[in-house]
């Protein structure tokens, strides 16, 4: 028993350090000294300690479904239920960070040609690089607004390309798309879905699509649900990170965005649509299955 081990060696090692290494709470140990805990209480102490570690690892950006999925990766917690985790999180005061809703900046009042809505809300696709969705939102750096463009693969919800710009000109969308193309090397026939913004309707943007033989699709006018996956991503990054920080300069902001998108969102954050796997792991599993077939 861990508490008995700590008691046995407390004259040789600091109690605080042993509690940390053994993943038990220091307060729980001292309570046990006064009145030994039952096996269930000891298990709950271990569970609470691990929940707290995972919540801290997610920087407070995870609720009970994601924490439960993380716990299931450890043999000692493989059968813990979501309701149990939710109950403990509530008692511990651990609540997923959220913030105010956001407004997406879209300029669809232009005379450029508009593409039909070929995607038609078919947000589940069978293979990677079949459909990419894109959108643009804003964030404040110092006293000036900047604009974030992203491209997301519908298969795994992985962000394949992104760009931060001081302006809403089409060049940021073009840079983000070119980054995604360089990164993924998609084949002909890839569908690119977006809203009707001038950035996506511009001739320069369409030149890139034509060069690579991509297909363009656009949401219906004023219908945000037609691009719900991109909207959902922006809701996540806004409520989990941007609304909780004040950015002072471009370098700091790009560093924070890189950590959120590339390190956390793409590789660490589990998605319910992926069976609670991260986008990167979901794709890795797909390609491993393809090789084995």
Total Cβ atoms within 10 A of residue 197: 26
Three-class SS of residue 87? helix
Give pLDDT, residue 161.
97
Give pLDDT, residue 218.
94
Q: Are strands 215-218 and 144-153 parallel, antiparallel or unpaired?
A: unpaired
Which contiguous run of DSSP H or E holds residue 160?
A: strand 159-165
**3-state SS record for 219-275:** CCCCCHHHHHHHHHHHHHHHHHCHHHCCECCHHHHHHHHHHHHHHHHCCCCCEHHHC
Closest by CA position to 263, among listed 159, 128, 140, 151: 159
Total Cβ atoms within 10 A of residue 83: 10
How far CA 290 is from CA of 52, 59, 130, 131, 152, in Å, comes to 37, 35, 16, 19, 22
Give pLDDT, residue 224.
65
Q: What are the tens digits of pLDDT across the range 85-102?
A: 888 888 878 877 654 444
Asked if 124 contacts 271 with a C-beta cutoff of 8 angstroms, the reply is no
Q: What are the tens digits of pLDDT across the range 145-182?
A: 999 999 999 999 999 999 999 999 999 999 999 999 99
Could you tell me how many residues make up the chain?
Answer: 293
How far CA 167 is from CA of 147, 192, 216, in Å, comes to 7, 22, 23
Asked if 54 contacts 96 with a C-beta cutoff of 8 angstroms, the reply is no
Residue tagged 């993380």 (tokens): 70
d(CA 21, CA 172): 47
Give pLDDT, residue 98.
57
Residues of the chain short of pLDDT 50, as ranges, are 99-105, 107
State the DSSP string of 20-61: HHHT--HHHHHHHHHSPPPHHHHHHHHHHHHHHHHHHHTTT-
Give pLDDT, residue 101.
45
């Amino acid at each position: 028993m861990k508490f008995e081990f700590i008691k046995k060696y407390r004259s040789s090692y600091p109690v605080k350090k042993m509690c940390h290494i053994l993943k038990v709470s220091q307060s729980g140990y001292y309570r046990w000294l006064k009145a030994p805990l039952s096996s269930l209480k000891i298990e709950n102490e271990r569970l609470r300690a691990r929940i707290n570690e995972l919540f801290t690892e997610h920087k407070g950006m995870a609720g009970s479904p994601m924490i439960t999925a993380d716990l299931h990766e450890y043999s000692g917690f493989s059968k813990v239920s979501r309701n149990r985790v939710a109950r403990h999180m509530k008692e511990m005061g651990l609540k997923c960070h959220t913030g105010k809703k956001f407004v997406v900046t879209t300029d669809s009042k232009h005379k450029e040609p508009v593409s039909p809505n070929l995607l038609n809300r078919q947000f589940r696709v069978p293979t990677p690089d079949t459909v990419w969705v894109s959108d643009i939102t804003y964030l404040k750096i110092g006293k000036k607004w900047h604009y974030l463009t992203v491209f997301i693969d519908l298969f795994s919800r992985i962000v394949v390309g992104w760009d931060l710009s001081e302006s809403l000109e089409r060049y940021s969308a073009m840079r983000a798309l070119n980054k995604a193309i360089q990164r993924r090397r998609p084949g002909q026939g890839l569908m690119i879905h977006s809203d009707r913004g001038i950035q996506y309707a511009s001739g320069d943007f369409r030149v890139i699509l034509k060069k690579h033989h991509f297909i363009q699709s656009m949401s219906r006018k004023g219908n945000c649900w037609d691009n719900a996956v991109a909207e959902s991503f922006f809701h996540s990054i806004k409520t989990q990170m941007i609304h909780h920080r004040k950015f002072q300069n471009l370098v700091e902001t790009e560093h924070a965005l890189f950590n959120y998108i590339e390190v956390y969102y793409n590789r660490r954050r589990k998605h319910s649509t992926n069976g609670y796997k991260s986008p990167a792991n979901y794709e890795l599993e797909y390609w491993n299955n393809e090789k084995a077939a």
